[in-house]
Structure 1
Amino acid sequence: MSEIDNAVTYRKYVALGDSFTEGVGDDDPTRPNGVRGWADRVAEQLARGNDGFGYANLAIRGRLLRQILDEQLDAALALEPDLVTIYAGGNDIMRPGLDLDVLVAQYEEAIAALTGTGARVLMWTAYDVGWAPVFRHLRGRIAIYNELVRGVADRHGATLVDYWRFGEYRDYRMWDFDRLHMSPEGHRNMAIRVLDALGAQHRIEPVDLGPTPVVARPEQRRADAKWAREFLVPWVGRRVRGESSGDGIAPKRPVPAPIDL
């Protein structure tokens, strides 16, 4: 943790994506859409000692990659940022019949457009779900997606934040109850990871959760049943009905503006 103002200076930061970037799981009723998230935390640090810094967050929960590109890409380019973060494809990966090559080819076009402006662009691999009930069956698909994404980053000079390799996210306490979105601690840790990838100094305290608690099998079964009842069943129901958690949600920061420190 640094106690000095940031030596890495950006004029305008624009964040694109879905719930991961919007900040779902890091509740804060005082903020737009009722969430804070890692991107807000990164912006707060980049704003230190940086007069005129502006931050926009166009991300909306539930968005598929094609929706992110259709709704957010042109808007982001029009804002002329010098720093862009984009996380996309996570919601697509959970859908059957996905063609990963087509998905990542669409993603690559967007990355090429963003890096072509001269902006610093950060993109992510997807996290390793091998530890997670229900979602672990997607692990092979995610590994292939990640290799394709690494190739995109290499070809276009984007900075890769390699979520897949962040072992600390195997701790349940880094996740919200739904096991799909990060907890406040998970978002804080991701903010540190992003700032480190940027080479930016910051004042965020490292996340130290201590030893992982040992959960007895009966207690884990009860937790799994509660999760299935309160999250999984409604989540599947929305999919069947063609609904999204992002229906009726607008970007929380549609234009670059200062952020409170």
Structure 2
Amino acid sequence: MTRAHPWSRYVAIGDSFTEGIGDPEPSVPGGYRGWADRVAEVLGSTTDDFAYANLAVRGRLLQQIIDEQTDAALDLKPDLISVSAGGNDIIRPGTDPDEVASRLEGLVERLSSQGATVVLFTGPDIGATPVLGRIRGKVAVYNENVHAIALRNDAVVADMWALRELADSRMWAPDRLHFSPLGHHTIARMVLASLAVDNDLLEYTVPPVAARRWREARREDVSWAREYLVPWVLRRVRHQSSGDGRSAKRPDAVSVVYREAARPRDDA
């Protein structure tokens, strides 16, 4: 088999974004597929000895990722590591994006210490997102730090802020905090492009969203706040996490099966 890229062992670390929340798939470990699984499937399709592990756990803050996932990731001897971390810190009131970025850089230095290629993520542009749109400036500052960290450490940036397709509401899960199957598919395409890896993941186009009446939009916002926002706020007040008691869905580096025949859905 022709090797289309230089990597043979990929480890993903992070939080719910990397775990794949929003992209349910009962047949895969953990019950969620996500962009990282999709990327691993493509990378493994051209490399016989390719192996993949995903240590991400939903709800994890940056320090938890540093403390719980870094050593485990390095023990697997990867030559490719993706890390998306800090988002759960940034959305919390009172956090300093520069301070969070400083800790992220220490993590990147450790992850690259064995010569692995490190992929970092900017946060998406959440300016049009209810509630979270208020911290758009913090996300932008954090993103600038991510670009600077990547430059200093020879890391690859997967730039979600520049991925304008994510402005489409169908890219997001019903909770408006995580991505839908369509969103994860779109992000996987972007990550592979950032790695300069050719692939056959199709750009999935959907017709324009029909304009909603103001009253309908407000009813949806109220329903969303009741079902998703209030429980999220209560967990923060109680210092609880959706990831409490959970462990990594793919703790060992193993081969993966290419599954792209399962097309992303646009009904999220």
What TM-score results when the alignment is normalised by the length of structure 1? 0.96
Contact kept, 8 Å, 2:59 with 2:243, in 1: the verdict is yes
**CA offsets per residue over residues 82-110 of structure 1, 9 Å max, x none?**
00100000000111221222211111011
Counting only pairs closer than 5 Å after superposition, residues 44-63 of structure 1 correspond to structure 2 as 44-63=41-60
Q: Which amino acid aligns with 1:79?
A: L
Does residue 140 of the first structure (1) align with residue 123 of the second (2)? no
Partner of 1:24: 21
Larger RCO: 1 or 2 (CA < 8 Å, sep 6+): 1
Distance in 2, Cα, partners of 1:213 & 1:196: 30
Partner of 2:110: 113
Work out the number of aligned pairs and report it.
Answer: 258
Distance in 2, Cα, partners of 1:44 & 1:135: 32
Which of 225, 234, 238 aligns to 1:237? It is: 234
Partner of 1:99: 96
Distance in 2, Cα, partners of 1:61 & 1:46: 24
Stretches of structure 2 that go unaligned for 5 or more consecutive residues are 259-268
Contact kept, 8 Å, 2:123 with 2:139, in 1: the verdict is yes
Partner of 1:151: 148
* Percent of residue pairs identical: 49
Stretches of structure 1 that go unaligned for 5 or more consecutive residues are none
RMSD: 1.3
Partner of 2:192: 195
| Paired residue secondary structure (2:52) | strand
Does residue 69 of the first structure (1) align with residue 71 of the second (2)? no
| Paired residue secondary structure (1:163) | coil
Distance in 2, Cα, partners of 1:235 & 1:6: 44
Distance in 1, Cα, partners of 2:97 & 2:218: 34
Give structure 1 regions of 4+ aligned residues with deviation exceeding 3 angstroms: none
Distance in 1, Cα, partners of 2:114 & 2:214: 53
Q: State the shift of 1:210 in Å.
A: 2.0
Partner of 2:168: 171
What TM-score results when the alignment is normalised by the length of structure 2? 0.93
Does residue 8 of the first structure (1) align with residue 5 of the second (2)? yes
Q: State the shift of 1:5 in Å.
A: 6.4
Q: State the shift of 1:166 in Å.
A: 1.1
